[in-house]
Chain A
Amino acid sequence: MRTENKTEVIVVGGGPAGIACAVTIARAGREVILIERGNFAGSKNVFGGAIYAQPTREIFPDFEKTAPLERKNIIHKYALLGEEDSTEVTYRNNDENAVSYSVFRGKFDRWMADEAEKEGVILVTETVVEDLIVDDGQVVGVKTELEDYYANIVVLADGVNSLLARKVGLRENISPYDVAVSVKEVIKLDKDKINDRFHLNDDEGCVYQLFGGSMLGMLGLGFIYTNKDSVSIGLGVTLNELVENKVKPYELLDKIKAHPSIAPLIKDGELLEYSAHLIPEGGYNCLPELFADGVMIVGDAAMLVNNLHWEGTNLAMMSGKYAAETALQALVEEDYTSEILCRYQQRLEQSFVLKDLKTYKDLMDVMHSRCASFLGYFPQKINEFFKMFTSVDSVPKKEKYRNFLKSVFKDRNPLELIKDGGNLLKLLWSILK
């Protein structure tokens, strides 16, 4: 039995999944090493974004007291952007209990990692895990640039690209249909300007989901989050759309920023930081093998993202926690094979994590095949409807309604409309059944 450089659990990747996993193991008094390739946890990470209060409390019960939070989100806005116009829906809730907070990963992940260290996690930064050490079919350690480390269990929390899961054959190559490329800009703006432009008080935040605009007809979504003294704006478009349309992601973002409904929100702002990251979009149909002898995969590395709801960090944290609980059982039983580690998958299946992904399992297929209509034609028609409805031009209303209805059937082949309807029903059925 090897004792040198040997620990009980190694977690690869210091994002929300890895940190949640490591801290849960440390709290049980077990030895755990968390290896992160960045200079500090968070230095390689990018999201929209907002972290969710309830799941974060499951890992760090008092995080609201000391974590670097930007604003508590009380407004959710959905904007359908046409070429020049837009239709927006706003939901506002001043409820005391926060659902989510805007944060910067460069600060928040770092804070979580610091907390985890205080609770006994050994954090190793600036170290890339290059490969896994496999002995007789069982993962028994990791190879880094400098040293090899051994452990009873290795947890892969290495994010969407998870080169390691692929290397040990737990995951196939990712297809361009199953990831979105996202670009983001953090734009500095006075606090008062943010409050005025987004109808907020200090510390209150607003989340925008943007459909259409420069992405009309493409499978992509944009976002805006308010921070204390800045606004985060970005978008994610599935990689195959970029390849097929031969467009550059930052050019799409530039166009969204120039849209008449968006430009006034960020006017006179100064770019603080540009960034980019992939989002796993494949969902349920794209899950890798979640465990094998000596190893489990958590968070983005396992493709655990609910893209419709912009949920990722919560699935990451909870999957990290479930993997940790499974590892703790394995340590007690001194059995690190799939026999025990399969309980991780069972935990995921019993929780919202796999239940939600299963609920939306047909979403991406339908969207891939119908995005020209669901994210192009219909948003445009909705805007056209409001254009018609708000126009005052001495044309009788009945005539306008009729013309609008006619245009719905004229501008799109009726057979395609029937298929759209069929797909929508199929999707709704798959979600609700």
Chain B
Amino acid sequence: MSIDEKLFTVKSVPDNVSHLNPDENECRCCESKACTFVCPANVYEWDEENQKLIVNYENCLECGACRIACERQSLDWEYPKGTKGVKFKLG
């Protein structure tokens, strides 16, 4: 089962603005791109061509791993607004 299929089972109310805001300049110099593999929801993808981090914030499970793992400690990370984000039925 792909991660996208797994994520399909999670109920969530996405906001129209991202609560995850990496610092583009720092990302360009970042060697590990740690956020692209620690994230349990595969939110981050590195776009090599445009040298930019793609952030699929709608998939975020709000765990906080990327914030702590960020190599350059430059990820501006907040909780989504109270009415938004994941809503685990089981958890």
A interface, CB within 8 angstroms of B: 37-39, 42-47, 104-107, 109, 125-128, 145, 160-161, 163, 173-176, 179, 181, 183, 185-186, 239, 242-243, 246-250, 254, 271-278
Contact = CB atoms under 8 A, between A and B. Distances in A.
B64 A38 contact: no
Contact of B69 (A47, A105, A107, A242): A242
A186 B90 contact: yes
Nearest to A185: B6
B27 to A, nearest CB: 16
Interface string B50-69: 00000000000111110111
Contacts of B37: 242-243, 246-248
Contact of B87 (A38, A242, A246): A38
Contacts of B61: 275-277
A125 B82 contact: yes
Interface string B1-37: 1010111011000000000000000000000101001
24 contacts: A38-B82, A38-B87, A44-B62, A46-B88, A46-B91, A105-B91, A106-B90, A128-B80, A145-B82, A160-B64, A179-B65, A181-B38, A181-B63, A183-B40, A239-B69, A242-B38, A242-B69, A248-B38, A271-B9, A272-B90, A273-B89, A274-B9, A274-B10, A278-B63
Contact of B40 (A44, A174, A175, A276): A276
A186 B85 CA distance: 20
Interface centre among B7, B38, B62, B91 (most CB of A within 10 A): B91
Contacts of A174: 68
Contact of B63 (A126, A246, A274, A277): A277
A181 B40 contact: yes
Contacts, number: 127
A161 B67 contact: yes
Given A181-B63, A243-B32, 9 more contacts: A38-B82, A44-B62, A44-B91, A104-B89, A106-B89, A160-B64, A243-B37, A249-B40, A278-B68
A21 B56 CA distance: 36
Contacts of B7: 274
Contacts of B78: 163
Nearest 7 Cβ contacts at the A-B interface: A276-B40, A126-B82, A105-B91, A274-B6, A161-B64, A106-B91, A104-B90
B10 A273 contact: yes
A114 to B, nearest CB: 16
A43 B69 CA distance: 25
B88 A273 contact: yes
B78 to A, nearest CB: 8
A275 B82 contact: no
A175 B68 contact: yes
Contacts of A248: 3, 37-40, 42
Contact of B90 (A173, A273, A277): A273
Given A37-B82, A127-B82, A185-B6, A278 B88 contact: no
Contacts of B1: 254, 271
